[in-house]
Amino acid sequence: MSAVLSTPAPAARADNAAVPGDQEFSFGAADFERVRQLIYQRAGISLHAGKQAMVYSRLSRRLRETGHRTFASYLQWLEHPNGAAGDQEWQEFVNCLTTNLTSFFREEHHFHELARELKARGTRPLRIWCNAASTGEEPYSIAMTVAEAGAQSCTSILASDIDTKVLATATRGVYAAEARGLTPQRLRAHFLRGKGANAGFIRVKPELARMIDFRTHNLMDLNWSLGDAFDIVFCRNVMIYFDATTQRRVLERIHRVMKPGGLLYVGHSENFSEARELFRLRGKTIYERA
């Protein structure tokens, strides 16, 4: 790699950070309640009462950067009907409150299943959507699986997230060389190793990066214009942040953008057996669109 690489994927943020003893900013129960309502309305994320310290630690940076001395004043500015804070600050607010933990080949059995599926399909065109893609390790794992199956030419991959900051990292494709989940063979086949100032970093090879179309997408949006219907959707470890009503709404929308018989891959602790008229369980955390 020649150019100096930008920052690699950020380490996962701790959700259980302790409330500092002497707080820099005043943050009361009413402020927390308002934040909970706003992030629920914007992103569908349900923050339970135990997340107060997390909210304080993540949003304090926004107060510092925008010059507000209390949460009440920041939130009032954010919500002001004249839109003084602007869309950019709303995006920062959302970016601060998402949790982006991910890794390469996380829940590896899905990638074995995907490889089997690709083999079974032969050269039939395949459209994959990886939503809640975070910093990119998941869609790149999909792309590696597709490349290893020799199915690049007949497969298209869309990767999306609500969080613009993690998507920028995903698009850059630069990670710490000791990133979890990559075998030495995959490191050699799909990544470039940084040298000199870039030592300690790896970058996704251009041919792998080219397989993925990254874009911002909020699962709460009413209008999903994502192009042709998908054969496979990865929606992993995001529904856990949503309440049952929101999960149902999102499942209905995912159902609408998938082909009949398409496969939905979900996270290890996510169970949608209540929605069997939409999706039937087909394997371990894999559902088939009804």
Ligand X SMILES: C[S@@+](CC[C@H](N)C(=O)[O-])C[C@H]1O[C@@H](n2cnc3c(N)ncnc32)[C@H](O)[C@@H]1O
Q: Nearest distance from residue 134's CB to ligand X, in Å?
A: 3
Identified binder of ligand X from the candidate list 85, 96, 128, 162, rule CB under 6 A: 162
Q: Nearest distance from residue 39's CB to ligand X, in Å?
A: 9
The encoded tokens of residue 160 equal: 């999306």
Q: Nearest distance from residue 160's CB to ligand X, in Å?
A: 7
Q: What is the DSSP string of 89-156?
A: HHHHHHHHH------TTSSTHHHHHHHHHHHHHTTS-EEEEEES-TTTHHHHHHHHHHHHTT-GGGEE
Count of beta carbons in the 10 Å neighbourhood of residue 104: 21
* Residues in region 78-107 near ligand X by CB under 6 A: 98-102, 106
Radius of gyration of the chain (CA): 20
Between 164 and 183, CB nearer to ligand X: 164
> For ligand X, what does the binding mask look like between residues 129 and 148, x meaning CB under 6 A?
--xx-x---x----------
CB 236 within 8 A of CB 284: no
* Residues in region 45-64 near ligand X by CB under 6 A: 45
161 is catalytic: yes
Beta bridge partners of 128: 157, 232
- Estimate to the nearest angstrom the gap between the alpha carbon of 59 and the chain centroid: 19
Catalytic residue among 31, 36, 106, 161: 161
Q: Residues for the chain: how many in total? A: 290
Q: Nearest distance from residue 289's CB to ligand X, in Å?
A: 19
> For ligand X, what does the binding mask look like between residues 7 and 46, x meaning CB under 6 A?
------------------------------------xxx-
| Selection from 239, 223, 273, 267 nearest residue 44 by Cα | 239
* Residues in region 201-220 near ligand X by CB under 6 A: 218-220
* CA geometry: angle 210, 170, 229, nearest 5 deg: 60
Q: Nearest distance from residue 81's CB to ligand X, in Å?
A: 24
248 is catalytic: no
Between 9 and 43, CB nearer to ligand X: 43
Contacts of 285 (CB under 8 A, 6+ apart): 107, 110, 265, 266, 267, 268, 270
Active site members = 58, 161
Residues that bind ligand X (CB under 6 A): 43-45, 98-102, 106, 131-132, 134, 138, 161-163, 166, 218-220, 236-238, 241, 267
